[in-house]
Copies of this chain bind each other. A is one copy, B any other.
Amino acid sequence: MEGATVRNIAAEAGLSLGALRHYFSTQDELLAYSLKLVKERATARIREIISLDLPPREKFIKTILELVPTNQEKMAEMEVWFAFTAYFRHKPGGLDAQYDGIYPGLQKLMDYAEQSGLLPANIDKEMETERLYALVDGLALHAYLEPQRLDGPKVERVLIHHLSALMATED
C-alpha cells in the first residue's frame, strides 16, 4: 500500500487532489471502492462461466480454475486482494475485506456437483468443501508469492488432480 497515496492515485488518474476528493471524501473510501471493483470484475467472470451451457463436469472444473491466478489479470486481482486485506485487517471501521464470498460460492458449486452426480455418495461434503477451498486459496497464494516455482499450468495440474481424486473417492 506504500504507493497508494491519494496524490499518486490522483496523478495516475490525471486528476487534481480536489477533483478526486469530489468523488471520494476519504482515502479508505477510495480504496474500498477499488477493492469492490476488483471483486465485481472477478464475480462477473465467474458468473459468465456458470451461465455457459457446458457438461456439468466441465463447468465444475472450469469454474474452480477461474478462482486461481493463472494469467496476468487474475494475478493483478490477487495482488490487490492480498494488499488490501492486509491493509483493512486492522482498521476499526469493521471493513470486512476478508469476506470475499468465495466460500459460499464453493458451497453452491459443491451442491451443483452433487446434484449432477459428479460426487460419490459417501463423501463428507462440508469437509471436502473446506478442503477444496483451502487448496484453491493456498494455490492462489503460492502462485502469487512464488510465480517462478508455481506457474499457471502447474496450478491447473494440481487443481485438476485434486478434483479428479475428489470425484473418484471410494472409501
Contact = CB atoms under 8 A, between A and B. Distances in A.
A33 interface: no
Interface stretch (A17-25, A58-66, A150-158): A150-158
Count class of interface residues, chain A: 35 or more
A158 B130 contact: yes
Contacts of A91: 2
A170 B168 CA distance: 11
B90 A2 contact: yes
Interface string A155-171: 00110011001001111
Stoichiometry, as copies per complex, reads 2
Given A86-B82, A90-B2, A149-B103, A137 B127 contact: no
B135 A131 contact: yes
A10 interface: no
Interface in A116-164: 124, 127, 130-131, 133-139, 141-142, 145-146, 149-150, 154, 157-158, 161-162
Given A127-B161, A137-B141, 9 more contacts: A83-B89, A85-B86, A127-B157, A130-B150, A131-B158, A134-B139, A135-B138, A138-B141, A141-B141
Interface of A: 1-3, 82-83, 85-87, 89-91, 98-99, 103, 124, 127, 130-131, 133-139, 141-142, 145-146, 149-150, 154, 157-158, 161-162, 165, 168-171
